[in-house]
Structure 1
Amino acid sequence: MRAEAAEPVTPTYRTAVAAEAPERDRRPLAGVAAMVGSGLSNQLGAATGSLAFPVLGPVGVVAVRQYVAALVLLAVGRPRLRDFTGRQWRPVLLLGLVFGTMNLSLYGAIDRVGLGLAVTLEFLGPLAIALAASRRRLDACCAVAAGAGAVALMRPQPSTDYVGMGLALLAAVCWASYILLNRAVGRIVPGAQGSAAAAGVSALMFLPVGAFVVVRHPPTAGSVVYAVAAGVLSSAVPYLADLFTLRRVPARAFGLFMSVNPVLAAAVGWVVLGQGLGWTEWASIGAIVAANAVSMLSTRG
């Protein structure tokens, strides 16, 4: 399978994990358990962060998440910032901007349309990258199925929140851009240093945002705990779990499982936040997930 077709995975840490993961061992069941834990942790983190929206708003929660992500990746990547050249800094700065915009638009969408729909629409970004890399008829059919699922999710209804869906689609564009930029950064910056530096840049960008939120909306202890928990569950835990996973399962299996995240998001939104979905929404989510699954399972190499 082409490298491009294995990208639909957790955006925040995919490049760093791939750089750090050694050769796989022979304990696949442990890897599967880690994949389940990573997916659930990521979606539980988003759900937990939404509990702080009434006090901090999506912007405040994203700011805290960016701080936590920067601490994790800077500790792991240990970038030598003084050695970066101008040619290296340009894509790193752009990657940091895209990273922040991606999370901000996703959390804004979660606030307006719910966790399941927001994550599903965001997933269209990496799915489009994977399908665009292929010229097979089967992948064209998968693209049509995914597009039909997206249209069904966004069909006009009296309660349709087009702003929220627009934010989710912006997150999808940012996720696709994040994948492409990570490739560019990975070519000119060794190891996980590029991703770590980009996370640090994004955190610096959100420092004035965080200060503004604190002044305008003084946080409560509970909201801070929720926001920090969201950062840990959606940042530190997925990174460590994915690092553990890639030592034990093939990259294709990893990408295939991560494509189930929209289903996990819908389930977590329903159980934790009470965000129920109708059969049409579930069918649409299933179509998008199935399109990715069929495409990945049918590829070779």
Structure 2
Amino acid sequence: MPNTYTMAVVYLILSMLSYQMSASFAKQLMEQLDALSVTLLRMFFASLIVCVMFRSWKVIPQLKKLPWSSLLIYSLSLGLMNTLFYFSLGKLPQGIAVGLEFLGPLGLAFLSIKKTSDAFWIILTVIGLVLMVPWAHLDHLHFSFFGAACSLGAGLFWAFYIYYGQRVIQLNIGMHALSIALVLSTAFLIPISVLQHSPVFTHPEFWLHGIMIAVLATAIPYSLDLLALKHLSSVSYGTLSSLSPVLAAFSGFIFLQEILSLTQWFSLFLIMFAAIGITLSEKNS
């Protein structure tokens, strides 16, 4: 039977696969809706699905006893991470948006390193991420610095999501923590969306898309994330997440016909090599 660490790695990889497929579908939907509306669709349906899936109404009697500081930061991080990422996704190729976002968990991994070998794998990841950005052709490719800023902001809140996710999982409320975070994030986005006259709740033709994205982007990956965070360190989680740009590039190529250069593909394989290295290092320590 696979050990707990191996299963945690499997959970994380499945989480990233599901998330990157959903990002491609979300980007297609952005041809009809703005990024905030797509985010709200995803968060709204995800909160319903997760609450029903885990029967989270059972946790209501415990709400007054919970240490809300970590839970609120976890919820805020989840909401801002998703909102900023979708803004960046509308401006950048999927692989580049995810690559820049990944600097958040990578920074957290840097702060958590304990061995020289860990530093080597993280530096290798940084080289791969630098090679991903087409520095010599930014003007020609209409590179969006606003999109890049949103992606970096999403990465910052991704780091908070990892850090406080490890705290929240210790609250002994299980997956209900995810339900609470999704409901709070959705409640924050709804009034903003109403002020912007978003059509998401008045045009049912978008709802099926929202449900599909919610399942692939939230219900599946965030549940798997919480399972993975039980057994992965910040270093391991942060560097393993470097597979996200690789999977994002493949997803963008398959679903969106986004073409990457040979240098960018080489950078993706460097990142993948570093992720494998940190996995073996952590497992054998």
Scaled by the length of structure 1, the TM-score of the pair is 0.75
* Runs of 5+ consecutive residues of structure 1 not aligned to the other structure: 1-23
Count of aligned positions:
271
1:47 paired residue among 21, 24, 28: 24
Q: Percent identity?
A: 25
Q: Does 1:142 align with 2:125?
A: no
Partner of 1:112: 91
Matched residue of 1:292: which SS? helix
Residue matched to 2:248: 265
Q: Which moved more, 1:138-147 or 1:187-196?
A: 187-196
Distance 2:173 2:248 in 1: 33
- 8 A Cα contact 2:24 2:94, kept in partner: yes
Letter in 2 for 1:64: L
Provide the residue aligned with 2:279 in structure 1: 296
Please tell me whether residue 89 in structure 1 is matched to residue 68 in structure 2: yes
1:95 to 1:238, Cα distance in 2 relative to 1, 3 A = closer
Deviation at 1:90, TM superposition (A): 2.6
Is the contact made by 2:37 and 2:200 (CA closer than 8 Å) also made in structure 1? Answer: no
The equivalent residue for 1:4 is none
- CA distance in structure 2 between the partners assigned to 1:191 and 1:114 by the alignment: 35
Residue pair 2:24, 2:256 contacting (<8 A) in 1 also = yes
2:145 paired with 1:162: yes
Bigger mean CA offset, 188-197 vs 209-218: 209-218
1:262 & 1:141 partners in 2: Cα distance?
19
Q: Specify the alignment match of 1:229 in structure 2.
A: 212
Q: For 2:143 and 2:50, how far apart are their aligned partners in 1?
A: 37
Distance 2:241 2:267 in 1: 17
Counterpart among 64, 67, 70 of residue 41 in structure 2:
64
1:201 alignment partner in structure 2: 184
Question: In 1, are the aligned partners of 2:125 and 2:242 still within 8 Å (CA)?
Answer: no
**Counterparts of 1:269 and 1:102 in 2: how far apart (Å)?**
20
Alignment-mate amino acid for residue 42 of structure 1: Y
* Closer, same or farther: CA 281–258 of 1 in aligned 2, 3 Å: same
> What secondary structure, in the 3-state scheme, does the structure 1 residue paired with 2:102 have?
helix
Shift of residue 139 of structure 1?
1.8
Following the alignment from structure 1 to structure 2, what is the Cα–Cα distance between the partners of residues 282 and 242?
Answer: 26
Task: Indicate yes or no: 2:160 matched with 1:177.
Answer: yes
Note closer, same or farther for the CA distance 1:198–1:284 as it changes in structure 2 (3 Å cut).
same
Pick from 96, 99, 105 the counterpart of residue 126 of structure 1.
Answer: 105
1:224-273 Cα offsets, whole Å, 9 max, x none, are 43333211221234467779x97xxx869x96876433212101101211
Give CA-to-partner distance per residue, 1:157-195, whole Å, 9 cap, x none: 213322212211111111110111122323345322322
* Distance in 2 (alpha carbons) for counterparts of 1:272 and 1:96: 30
Q: TM-score, normalised by structure 2?
A: 0.79
Partner letter of residue 43 of structure 1?
Q
CA contact (8 A) 1:68 1:235 kept: no
Larger deviation, residues 207-216 vs 171-180? 207-216
Q: 1:60 to 1:237 in 2, by over 3 A?
A: same
Distance 1:131 1:286, change over 3 A: farther
The CA distance in 1 between the partners of 2:206 and 2:169, in whole Å, is 36
Please report how far the alpha carbon of residue 39 of structure 1 lies from its aligned counterpart in structure 2 after TM superposition: 4.0
Q: Identify the match of residue 194 of structure 2 among 184, 187, 211.
A: 211
1:73 aligns with 2:41: no
Q: Is the 8 A contact 1:77 1:196 kept in 2?
A: no
Give the RMSD, CA atoms, in angstroms.
3.4
1:100 maps onto 2:79 in alignment: yes
- Contact (CA 8 Å) 1:65, 1:228: kept in 2 or not? yes
Out of 256, 262, 280, which is 1:279 matched to?
262
